[in-house]
């Protein structure tokens, strides 16, 4: 009892600390943004290489001014062609006048693209007169509701309750609303939704959490649940889990939302539960991982990042989006480069520079090209070994677009040629069983672009694979790629 009391106390102290933290996050952001811009600038000693003018073209360029020539032969021209040779080829048939006009047009476009203090807003103003400025993130006062003792609440009326019955929760789990509920219930995993999609530009990921709640066919509510067949372990039997509801956001502003999300994730982790976040778009990775790092310490958490894209974009107008969380976590020194393991990259992003940045900074990436060359088993083994060698804790960031669109049509940025469910399920389960997972997020599931329920069902199964792994770890089943002897082989072959 004393122990529980001290847990409640610790949790409330944290709530207060987190509020103070949230108030200062904007100021902090300004500082880190300045830092980020500095870091993304090329180092001054590395002067950009000037392209060599082909002989055939040199006479035609004689009329260009020094500035125009500098622009044409320098890095900035590469915003108009991948290589200088491509640009020079465009000039072959042009007159010197046409070339000069072309170069001036490039300079004009380049200048007009930049921030102009006379016409542009450096910050988007908010209506500070609004009486509801902070209402979206205020907890509902206890005084408004019927008094109850803290702890998880089962909201099912019937002893046996199937998938079509009742108020939908993740895996038909009981509900918890406050950190006191988590502490009183000694909750081990708190699954929560974050209906945020302002970081992507594609509306719909905000509906992900409720689609996952609705989208699975296994929703028992009995004290004994059938185990996961591959392992004969059932998380519902072995773990205390809750649906922790949704984290509210300012649905018009990612920037205004991240402080609150980070605070809520931190609260759950500090209450001793594993936060499992269902998004929402991938900009969530920043507040989700940061909230976990706030509890376990910068540098102590590795991130295993499943994604078709590297999400370490830099230099964009917006300082956070679903394509930038990796860069931001790295720039703020919350997660060192060597602690990132990326799996499933393909398509067209990043390009050469992005891969070079990852190599320079120690990030471990596993592309579909590597899988094409060496096969999935090889790559899974390599990534598992890297995760096990890394820091004590891991956070799993699962962007559903790592799956081939055949398995996950419901996502904003689908990319052909991805992983199959048969490849993804075992590695997620293994990571959660063989390594100390302290946080998990599933992001970018957009039910509005999947008229069926394939996406929601597979998303639900990914959560279950992780939960099965966590339950296996609790039972001590942490051997490499453990599978149940009962189900993995019928045993009737002649010895
Ligand atoms: Mn992503």
DSSP letter string, 240-307: -EEEEEE----TT-HHHHHHHHHHHHHHHHHTTPEEEEEES-GGGHHHHHHHHHHHH-TTSEEEEEE-
- Compute the distance from residue 325 Cα to the ligand 1 centre, in Å: 9
Residue 12 counted as domain residue: no
Distance 309 CA to ligand 1 centre (A): 6
**Pair (169, 248) in one structural domain:** yes
Model pLDDT, residue 400? 98
Q: Mean pLDDT per segment of 10 residues, for the chain of length 495 residues?
A: 44 41 40 41 58 94 96 96 96 96 98 96 95 96 96 89 82 95 98 96 94 80 82 95 97 96 98 97 98 98 98 92 97 98 97 96 98 98 97 98 98 97 98 98 97 94 97 98 97 89
Task: State residue 46's pLDDT score.
Answer: 55
Write down the pLDDT at residue 219: 65
Ligand 1 centroid distance, CA of 187 (Å): 29
Residue 308 C-alpha to ligand 1 middle, in angstroms?
A: 7
37 lies in some domain: no
Has residue 366 been placed in a domain?
yes
Output the six-digit token pair for 183: 């502490």
Paired tokens of 380: 């899974």
Gap from CA of 262 to ligand 1 centroid (Å)? 18
Same domain, 359 and 463: yes
In terms of domains, do 178 and 105 share one? no
CA–CA dist 83, 352 (Å, integer): 12
Domain that holds residue 264: 150-485
Residues 70 and 192 in one domain: no
Same domain, 196 and 66: no
Question: In this structure, are 372 and 441 located in the same domain?
Answer: yes
Alpha carbon distance 193, 463 (integer Å) = 12
The three-state secondary structure class of 445 is strand
261 Cα: distance to centroid of ligand 1 (angstroms): 18
Which residue matches tokens 């596993």? Answer: 366
Note the pLDDT of residue 12.
44
The residues pairing with 190 across neighbouring beta strands, listed in sequence order, are 242, 275
Q: Are residues 109 and 154 in the same domain?
A: no
Of the three residues 68, 84, 113, the one that is the final residue of a domain is 113
For residues 221 and 89, state if they share a domain. no
Global pTM?
A: 0.89
Ligand 1 centre distance from Cα of residue 397 (Å): 9
pLDDT score of 215: 81
Tell me how many domains the chain contains.
2
Whole-number Å distance between alpha carbons of 69 and 122: 31
Length of the chain: 495
Task: Establish if 120 belongs to a structural domain.
Answer: no
Distance 357 CA to ligand 1 centre (A): 18
> What strand order describes the sheet that includes 340-345?
241-246, 189-194, 274-279, 436-443, 393-399, 301-306, 340-345, 364-367
Q: How far is the CA of 236 from the centre of ligand 1 (A)?
A: 29
> Ligand 1 center to residue 365 CA distance, Å?
14
Instruction: Transcribe 332-353 into DSSP letters.
Output: TTSS-GGGEEEEEE-TT-S-HH
Q: Do 266 and 393 sit in the same domain of this protein?
A: yes
In a domain, residue 32? The reply is: no
Rounded to the nearest angstrom, the distance between the alpha carbon of 437 and the centre of ligand 1 is 20
Domain membership of residue 43 (yes or no) is no
Q: Which single residue is written with the structure tokens 């080829």?
A: 89
Domain assignment present for 36:
no
In a shared domain, residues 268 and 342: yes
In this structure, the answer to whether residues 440 and 304 fall within a common structural domain is yes
Statement to judge: residues 108 and 160 lie in one domain: no
Residue 256 lies in a domain: yes
Largest Cα–Cα distance in the chain? 88
Q: What is the pLDDT of residue 6?
A: 47
Q: How far is the CA of 24 from the centre of ligand 1 (A)?
A: 27
Cβ-based neighbour number of residue 144 at 10 Å: 6
**Integer angstrom CA distances of residue 442 from 234, 316, 375:** 20, 24, 25
Residue 362 belongs to domain with CATH number: 3.40.800.10
């Amino acid at each position: 009892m004393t122990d529980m009391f001290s847990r409640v106390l610790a949790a409330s102290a944290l709530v207060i600390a987190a509020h103070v933290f949230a108030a200062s996050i904007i100021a902090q952001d300004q500082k880190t943004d300045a830092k980020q811009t500095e870091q993304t600038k090329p180092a001054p000693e590395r002067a950009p290489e000037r392209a060599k003018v082909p002989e055939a073209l040199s006479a035609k360029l004689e009329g260009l001014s020094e500035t125009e020539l500098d622009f044409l032969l320098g890095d900035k021209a590469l915003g108009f062609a991948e290589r200088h040779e491509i640009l020079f080829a465009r000039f072959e048939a042009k007159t010197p006048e046409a070339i000069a006009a072309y170069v001036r047009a490039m300079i004009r476009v380049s200048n007009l693209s930049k921030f102009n203090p006379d016409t542009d807003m450096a910050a988007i103003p908010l209506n500070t007169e609004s009486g509801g400025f902070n209402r979206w993130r205020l907890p509902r006062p206890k005084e408004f509701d019927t008094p109850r003792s803290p702890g998880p609440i089962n909201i099912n009326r019937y002893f046996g309750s199937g998938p079509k019955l009742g108020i939908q929760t993740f895996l038909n789990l009981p509900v918890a609303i406050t950190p006191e509920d988590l502490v009183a219930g000694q909750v081990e995993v708190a699954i929560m939704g974050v209906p945020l999609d302002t970081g992507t530009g594609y509306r719909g990921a905000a509906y992900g959490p409720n689609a996952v709640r609705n989208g699975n066919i296994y929703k028992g509510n009995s004290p004994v649940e059938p185990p996961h067949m591959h392992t004969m372990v059932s998380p519902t039997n072995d773990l205390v889990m809750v649906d922790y509801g949704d984290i509210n956001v300012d649905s018009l502003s990612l920037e205004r939302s991240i402080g609150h999300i980070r605070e809520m994730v931190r609260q759950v982790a500090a209450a001793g539960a594993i936060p499992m976040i269902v998004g929402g778009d991938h900009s969530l990775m920043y507040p989700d991982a940061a909230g976990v790092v706030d509890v376990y310490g910068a540098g102590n958490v590795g991130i295993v990042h499943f994604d078709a894209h590297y999400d370490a974009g830099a230099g964009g107008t917006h300082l956070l989006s679903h394509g930038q969380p990796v860069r931001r976590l790295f720039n703020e020194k919350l997660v060192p480069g060597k602690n990132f393991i990326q799996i499933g990259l393909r398509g067209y992003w990043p390009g050469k520079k992005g891969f070079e940045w990852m190599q320079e900074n120690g990030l471990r990436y596993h592309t579909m090209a590597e899988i094409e060359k060496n096969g999935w088993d090889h790559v899974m083994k390599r990534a598992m070994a890297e995760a096990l060698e890394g820091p004590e804790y891991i956070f799993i960031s699962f962007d559903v677009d790592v799956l081939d669109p055949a398995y996950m049509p419901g996502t904003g940025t689908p990319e052909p040629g991805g992983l199959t469910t048969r490849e993804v399920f075992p590695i997620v389960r293994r990571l959660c069983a063989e390594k100390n997972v302290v946080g998990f997020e599933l992001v970018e599931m957009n039910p509005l672009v999947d008229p069926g329920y394939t996406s929601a069902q597979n998303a639900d199964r990914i959560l279950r694979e992780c939960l099965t792994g966590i339950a296996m770890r609790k039972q001590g089943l942490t051997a490499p790629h453990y599978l149940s002897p009962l189900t993995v082989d019928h045993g009737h072959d002649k010895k």
